[in-house]
């Protein structure tokens, strides 16, 4: 038998709730000074790594945390030029790299470094046909393999697709993660903002050289202003006494605020050729002396995207599989945002185990004598 809900008990419940909320607010207030201390101590990266190759500011990291390579072909992560790459290895339990390393993939990550004014003339050609090609040449020699597996995230995904189209012979399997390919969809906010009549990319690059990190940061913030400026701080305040939440929040925010400038010429090419002219899908994207034809891609392709991605919506990534000549191609969609694709809990429990399986099924097992992995390193300045 349930008690009748009279006015007295309702009033008592309300009073208790208000009191509890006031006490919770007090507890949060007490924790506030320690919050700043914790923010200073945020640890970046989960897996142990070593630098095995350097070319100017670009470094190649090798993850050493696994029990030795169980697959012969190494896996190379290529990240965007906009942020730091440690989002792919954020913290234990939220690391894409960890999934592959634990499964036995010899895993590497390209860290593009922070460009200075001297790098403002670097073009897509320098990155794709220069550094990426050199890194993959180095990996092929180091691991004594003809091909490598490539996983590109965001802008790094677009660069990986361009690289594979130009140098298919060196790529065994290609995984794209929220990679912008087709920019014909008019509904994206970024596409609207970068329309030639509203955004003069030439003027920006000519005056600024490299595109400042603060400018890019403010653009990303503006994509969801209410969520970023109001809802996020309130959510933090309400869960200030939840240690796990605060820890995740600080790690994430540290990465989000850790923007780096983008080399001016690459930015110009990206905005002009991709966002404004959509040349990649038309087979008209010039990269150095070459023109990129996505139909040259014949290797197995896994195209991963997030349904709630406001930065690279599915409409920009989905058409990729229809533009390549590969017969083995798969699409995976996750109910997450752009960053959630890498660090979200659903991505960790559902997406990445499936993606690792996909790659494992298409990889050759390493022979017993090479399982301990290679040890050489090199550097070009």
Partner 1 sequence: MSNGDFDQMKQFGQLWLEMLSRSGSLFGQMKPGEPPPEAARQFRGAVFKSMADQADQFMRSETFLQAMKQSLDAALNFQKQYQTMLTEFRHSTEGVASTDIDAAMTLLRQMESRVLDRLENLDTQLQGIAERLDRLETDAETSGTKP
Give the active site residues: 154, 309, 338
Q: Which of residues 13 and 141 has its CB atom nearest to partner 1 in the complex?
A: 13
* 5 forms part of the interface with partner 1 (CB under 8 A): yes
Choose which of 39, 208, 216, 371 interacts with partner 1 (CB under 8 A). Answer: 208
Query: Which of these ranges, 8-16, 47-55, 244-252, 342-350, lies near partner 1 under the rule CB under 8 A?
Result: 8-16
- Determine phi and psi for 374, rounding to 5 degrees: -75, 165
> Which of 27, 192, 308, 346 is close enough to bind partner 1 by CB under 8 A?
192
Which range in 41-49, 117-125, 165-173, 300-308 contacts partner 1 by CB under 8 A? 117-125
Asked if 375 is part of the footprint of partner 1 (rule: CB under 8 A), the reply reads no
Pairwise CA distance, residues 184 & 264, whole Å: 23
Residue from 1, 207, 368, 375 touching partner 1 (CB under 8 A): that is 207
Cβ nearer to partner 1, comparing 1 with 203: 203
Which residue, among 358, 269, 283, has the nearest Cα to 325 in the 3D structure? 283
The stretch near partner 1 (CB under 8 A) out of 15-23, 88-96, 279-287, 337-345 is 15-23
Question: What is the CB neighbour count within 10 angstroms for residue 273?
Answer: 20
SS3 per-residue string spanning 143-194: HCCCCEEEEEECHHHHHHHHHHHHCHHHEEEEEEECCCCCCCCCCCHHHHHC
Tokens of 356: 């690792």
Burial label for 157, CB within 10 Å (0-12, 13-18, 19+), is buried
Site string for partner 1, 285-314 (x = CB under 8 A): ----x-------------------------
Among residues 15 and 372, whose Cβ is nearest to partner 1? 15
Tell me if 199 contacts partner 1 by CB under 8 A: yes
| Nearest alpha-carbon partner for 176 in 160, 196, 193 | 160
Q: Kindly state whether residue 26 participates in binding partner 1, applying the rule CB under 8 A.
A: no
Site for partner 1 in 228-247 (CB under 8 A): 230-231, 234
**Distance between CA atoms of 344 and 349, rounded to whole angstroms?**
9
CB of 331 to partner 1, least distance (A): 27
Distance CA 158, CA 178 (A): 9
376 binds partner 1 (CB under 8 A): no
Nearer to partner 1, 18 or 51 (CB): 18
What residue has token string 């990889």? 363
> Binding residue for partner 1 (CB under 8 A) from 189, 213, 236, 371?
189
If one asks whether residue 14 binds partner 1 (CB under 8 A), the answer comes out as yes
**What is the rounded CA–CA span in Å between residue 35 and residue 176?**
36
Token couple for 156: 């790094």
Residue 193: C-alpha distances to residues 183, 219, 318 (Å): 13, 10, 22
Contact set with partner 1 (CB under 8 A): 5, 10, 13-14, 16-18, 20-21, 117-118, 121, 189, 192-193, 195, 197-200, 203-204, 207-209, 222, 224-227, 230-231, 234, 289
């Amino acid at each position: 038998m349930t008690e009748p809900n009279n006015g007295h008990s309702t009033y008592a419940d309300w009073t208790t709730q208000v009191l509890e909320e006031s006490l919770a607010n007090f507890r949060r207030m007490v924790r506030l000074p320690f919050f700043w201390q914790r923010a200073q101590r945020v640890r970046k990266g989960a897996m142990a790594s070593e630098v095995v190759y350097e070319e100017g500011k670009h470094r190649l990291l090798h993850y050493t945390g696994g029990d030795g390579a169980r697959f012969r072909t190494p896996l190379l992560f290529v990240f965007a030029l906009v942020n730091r790459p440690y989002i792919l290895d954020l913290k234990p339990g939220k690391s894409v790299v960890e999934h592959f390393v634990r499964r036995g993939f010899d895993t590497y990550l390209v860290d593009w470094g922070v460009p200075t004014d001297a790098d403002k003339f670097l073009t897509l050609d320098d990155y794709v046909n220069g550094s990426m090609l050199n890194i993959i040449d180095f990996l092929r020699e180091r691991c004594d393999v003809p091909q490598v597996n490539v996983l590109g995230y965001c802008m790094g995904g677009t660069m990986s697709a361009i690289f594979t189209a130009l140098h298919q012979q060196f790529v065994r399997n290609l995984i794209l993660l929220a990679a912008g390919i087709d920019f014909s969809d008019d509904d994206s906010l970024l596409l609207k903002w970068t329309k030639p009549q509203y955004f003069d990319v030439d003027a920006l690059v000519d005056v600024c050289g490299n595109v400042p990190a603060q400018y890019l940061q403010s653009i990303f913030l503006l994509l969801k202003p209410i969520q970023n400026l109001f809802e996020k701080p309130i959510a933090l305040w309400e869960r200030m006494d939840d240690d796990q939440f605060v820890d995740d929040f600080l790690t994430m925010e540290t990465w989000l605020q850790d923007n780096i400038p983008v080399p001016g010429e690459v930015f110009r090419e990206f905005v002009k050729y991709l966002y404004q002219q959509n040349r990649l899908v038309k087979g008209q994207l010039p990269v150095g002396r070459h023109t990129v034809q996505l139909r040259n891609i014949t290797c197995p392709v896994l195209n991963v995207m997030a349904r709630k991605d406001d930065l690279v919506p599915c409409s920009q990534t989905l058409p990729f599989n229809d533009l390549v000549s590969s017969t083995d191609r798969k699409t995976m969609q996750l109910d997450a945002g752009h960053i959630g694709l890498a660090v979200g809990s659903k991505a960790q429990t559902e997406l990445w185990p499936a993606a690792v399986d996909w790659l494992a099924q298409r990889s050759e097992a390493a022979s017993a004598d090479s399982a301990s992995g290679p040890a050489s390193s090199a550097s070009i300045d």
